[in-house]
Structure 1
Amino acid sequence: MGQPAAVYCRVSSARDEDQTGVDRQERLCRAVADRLGLVIAVGCVFVDNNRSAWQRRRRRPGWDGLLSAIRAGGVGHVIVYHPDRLMRQPRDLEELLALSDEQDITLHGQANRRDLSDADDRFFLRIEVAHACRSSDDTSRRLRDALEDRARDGRPHTSARRPYGYAADARTVIEAEALVLREMFARYLDGATPREIAEALNDRGQPAAGGGLWQPGSVRRMLRSRHVTGIRVFRGEEFGEGTWPAIIDRGTWAEVQDRSAYRASAHVYRSSRFYVLRGLVVCKKCGTHMSGSRGRAPSYLCTRRNELGPTRCTRRIHATMLEAFVTDAAVQLLTHLDVTGAPTVATALSARDEATIAADERELAELKDMWTSRELSTREYRAMRKTVEDRITTLQRKTIVRPTVEVLAGLVGPDARTSWDRLAADGQSQRLNAVLRFLFAAVIIDEHRGKSGTFDFSRIDIEPNPL
């Protein structure tokens, strides 16, 4: 039976010079596998359709899946139509080469073969990827220039997401949506909030451009949009009137912007209260942070409270009671915490972990000596090295670098409560917040299960940092 292999196929976009589709790429790669006697396992064909390998922030699920399969150790060969289908960024190649050092990967193209452990093949691959990156840079520059020329000509920007009120060409007005836009602007000028407008549209089943629910944020974006006024904007700069009809006149749009600025300035709330657990409180249901909010009583509220639809979360907890509870836990910990002789920048590793890492590092050196003297084969050396390095990495993840002495100065020992209260009375809330962040990773809030009107301490889960 042949050795296991994986296939990777990708087409960036319709602008790609090579438009060999992913289906045909897969057929060609399977033919290569048959010719070489390789076996493509089930689930080892990875595809990124309409995904760029050049854009640094663009996620490629197929590429990520391929790397995961290689890390798992079930793949010895990677087959692609051409290396530039696989990567167009040097860092992607270096990541693949690093994995190859661990797993002995051979890369096959339709017309060539690259042994990723061979220095010459690595050299040529780096040249090919650098050339592909330069080609993509040139294409991107030409595209940016073309988009700017389009903006100067007053032609609208088109994309997969059409602007609300217009068809996919961003020119043709959809009258039913135009009526909604005019109503939106009129209601805002009459005093309605974006939230009230969104709720009214959702209540009568009026969908947003993508077919989903209106949210307060999407209403605000429509109220700020200059496309609906017929103005062409490119990278935040107005280029003048566009070649499409306006739905909202400039006077109405300008009045809405003035009204929005007035409302923002009139409702600026500068709380005199510092929420000492800021950045620590997390909603267990949503996994998002909870922020301090005023109301009848200071509270921490889930940050999804302003969303509409099924994602909305109204979880809250009384701030004063929560802060007192977490403060008691912090003071108790500080009372018995010993930082005598701690360095200015401390690690959270115990002496035992430090000793284990030192022993593993010595073992790595011995393995390298054995490999150099040919007592171990390259494959054996790589496998044993990976095992030891994984142990070291697992221990090093415990390391947390913090300025221990500076943060905890004067707060450790039997007088911790007195020192804490003194800092609180002096208004040094930011210092207390820093101490709490040092001690705790998160304060997780579950749903309330007690009687109404009572504070349920059982819903609080404090996750400590390793000290």
Structure 2
Amino acid sequence: MNMRGSGQQAECDIYVRISQDLTGEEQGVQRQEDKCRELCEHLGLKVRYAWVDNDLSATKKDVVRPDFEALLQSKPQAIVCWHTDRLIRVTRDLERVIDLGVNVYAVEAGHLDLSTPAGRAVARTVTAWATYEGEQKAARQKLANQQAAAQGRPYTAGIRPFGYGDDHMTIMAEEAAAIVQGAQMILSGESLSAVARTWTAAGLRSPRGLARGGDAWTLRGVKKVLTSPRYIGQSTYLGEVMGKAQWPPILDPDVHYGVVAILNSPERFSGGPRTGRTPQTLVSGIGICGECTETVSGRGYRGVPVYGCRKTHTHTPRSIVDDRVSKATLARLVFPDFLGQILSSQTAQDGVSSAHLQAEAQVLRERLDGLATAYAEGAISLSQMTAGSSALQKKLEAIDAELVSTAGIPPIDPVKGVAGLIADWPNLPLPTRRAWVDFCLVVTLNPAKGRHLTSMSVDDHVTIEWRDVSE
């Protein structure tokens, strides 16, 4: 709001508005104000205030025009605008202006005397036609946008998307690499915050955020990028996938849909386990609670890393469990009856064992479940769920076919054998160690039942049973 000079002659307030200001330089509203001032001078009116709503629609119900609201509260003697549709576009706003009982002067639409029945009737007629024109224009634009999306053409009227150039088609190499990295971070169990920090630290900025004066990436902005079908080469309209896009993809479909399943899982916001998240601890999802028999997960308890079930029956220190389980697994590996059966049953093709394939298949199944749950909760559309399920299902079928020819044992180096496995245990990848623990042991974590954790022995905390290979 800009305050202007006032005198003894009749006063008026100027109101200017523009629906979309792509540059943010307010040149459109300034041109309107200049014309309004010329009219005020011609009418002999002194300008009290100039009210400006820049880059704001007057037809959307959820959009509030701050200066329009302030104008109504200020009780103006008269209102001057460039055109009446800048001031009022819908009947509900017209009636509020009518309640003021003042004259409205427009540079391009003449004078509306709202103090008389005839003037009010004219105003209502003009507004009705403006509303009709706006609705017709919106319908035509909607049809044009829908057709463009069906043809895979980009919507270039808006700000360029992160990862693509101003033509919305050309891949920006540095930004595309960041998108791939961010997707892999989510698949490996890292958070949106970690991705946002990584992108911000790399000096990358959201084009939309920059247009609004932002600097660092927000969680919402990162999620919007990583879950958009745009990045697997699909065009959308109002959230629905319309078909193959004309621009090149940045992400593989299975990576994209894995990220979508993780980030849109309702459990992500309720403290539950993340669907599709790679376990980050040795016994999570393997060990069971001795009270309720549910699987346990890694968590914190009074500042100590522990394993516990969802019903908090157990708070077993992670260090005790990991040490006990590792030793029991290695002991099982060197036991005579077990070693012979492993060596006799070992078959591996190209160094890939069934454990890797089983783990990957399980992740894919969890992501399929995650997509279905996300759709049920309204987080993604039916077309997104269908396309994602199809892509993940094809990969799952390929893995299932490969599993038919494997022996069903965890990874083992054919040269180093079991001895190498034992010697390298501390340095083996976590998925490999988890696979051997699950293959060799049944791990039960026992509730304290009133005992202090420090007074319990290792056997009080953890019960180990060896699996038979025939299982």
TM-score normalised to the size of structure 1?
0.50
Q: CA RMSD in A?
A: 3.0
Amino acid at match of 2:180: R
Amino acid at match of 2:200: N
CA distance in 2, matches of 1:224, 1:8: 41
Change in 2 beyond 3 A, CA 1:206/1:80? closer
User: In terms of Rg, which structure is larger?
Assistant: 2
Amino acid at match of 2:46: V
Contact 2:104 2:112 in 1 (8 A): yes
Contact 2:11 2:78 in 1 (8 A): yes
| Residues 163-207 of structure 1, C-alpha deviations (whole Å, 9 max, x = no match) | 211123321111110111111122222332222222333344443
1:140 aligns with 2:116: no
* Secondary structure at 2:153 match in 1: coil
| 1:129 corresponds to | 127
CA distance in 1, matches of 2:239, 2:31: 41
Note the 1:7-406 alignment, pairs <5 A: 7-13=14-20, 21-41=28-48, 44-70=49-75, 75-100=76-101, 105-110=102-107, 112-209=110-207, 210-211=209-210, 212-260=215-263, 264=267, 269=272
Contact 2:21 2:54 in 1 (8 A): no
Contact 2:85 2:127 in 1 (8 A): yes
Change in 2 beyond 3 A, CA 1:24/1:261? closer
CA distance in 2, matches of 1:208, 1:182: 16
Change in 2 beyond 3 A, CA 1:135/1:206? closer
Q: CA deviation at 1:267?
A: 7.4
CA distance in 2, matches of 1:34, 1:82: 17
CA distance in 2, matches of 1:7, 1:26: 7
Change in 2 beyond 3 A, CA 1:27/1:186? closer
Count of paired positions? 260
| 2:4 corresponds to | none
CA distance in 1, matches of 2:270, 2:117: 65
| Residues 390-416 of structure 1, C-alpha deviations (whole Å, 9 max, x = no match) | xxxxxxxxxxxxxxxxxxxxxxxxxxx
CA distance in 1, matches of 2:112, 2:122: 9
Q: Percent identity?
A: 29
Change in 2 beyond 3 A, CA 1:116/1:199? same
CA distance in 2, matches of 1:220, 1:13: 26
CA distance in 1, matches of 2:120, 2:45: 22
Amino acid at match of 2:67: G
CA distance in 2, matches of 1:119, 1:253: 61
CA distance in 2, matches of 1:222, 1:128: 43
CA distance in 1, matches of 2:126, 2:231: 46
CA distance in 2, matches of 1:202, 1:58: 30
| Residues 71-115 of structure 1, C-alpha deviations (whole Å, 9 max, x = no match) | xxxx21111223222111001110111232xxxx22122363222
Amino acid at match of 1:127: T
| 1:380 corresponds to | none
Change in 2 beyond 3 A, CA 1:194/1:11? closer
CA distance in 2, matches of 1:83, 1:98: 16
* Secondary structure at 1:147 match in 2: helix
CA distance in 2, matches of 1:167, 1:57: 31
CA distance in 1, matches of 2:265, 2:136: 45
* Secondary structure at 1:197 match in 2: helix
CA distance in 1, matches of 2:45, 2:67: 20
Contact 2:53 2:66 in 1 (8 A): yes
CA distance in 2, matches of 1:57, 1:35: 37
Segments of 5+ residues of structure 2 without an aligned counterpart are 1-7, 274-298, 303-471
Q: CA deviation at 1:258?
A: 4.5
Amino acid at match of 1:62: D
| Residues 378-431 of structure 1, C-alpha deviations (whole Å, 9 max, x = no match) | xxxxxxxxxxxxxxxxxxxxxxxxxxxxxxxxxxxxxxxxxxxxxxxxxxxxxx
CA distance in 2, matches of 1:261, 1:223: 11
| 2:362 corresponds to | none
Change in 2 beyond 3 A, CA 1:230/1:125? same
Segments of 5+ residues of structure 1 without an aligned counterpart are 271-293, 298-467
Amino acid at match of 2:44: G
* Secondary structure at 1:245 match in 2: coil
CA distance in 2, matches of 1:139, 1:50: 18
Q: CA deviation at 1:259?
A: 5.0
| 1:4 corresponds to | 11
* Secondary structure at 2:163 match in 1: coil
| 2:427 corresponds to | none
Contact 2:162 2:175 in 1 (8 A): yes
Amino acid at match of 1:246: P
* Secondary structure at 1:99 match in 2: coil
CA distance in 2, matches of 1:182, 1:207: 16
Contact 2:235 2:242 in 1 (8 A): yes
Deviation above 6 Å: which 4+ runs of structure 1? none
Which piece of structure 1 moves more, 86-95 or 219-228?
A: 219-228
* Secondary structure at 1:78 match in 2: strand
| 1:381 corresponds to | none
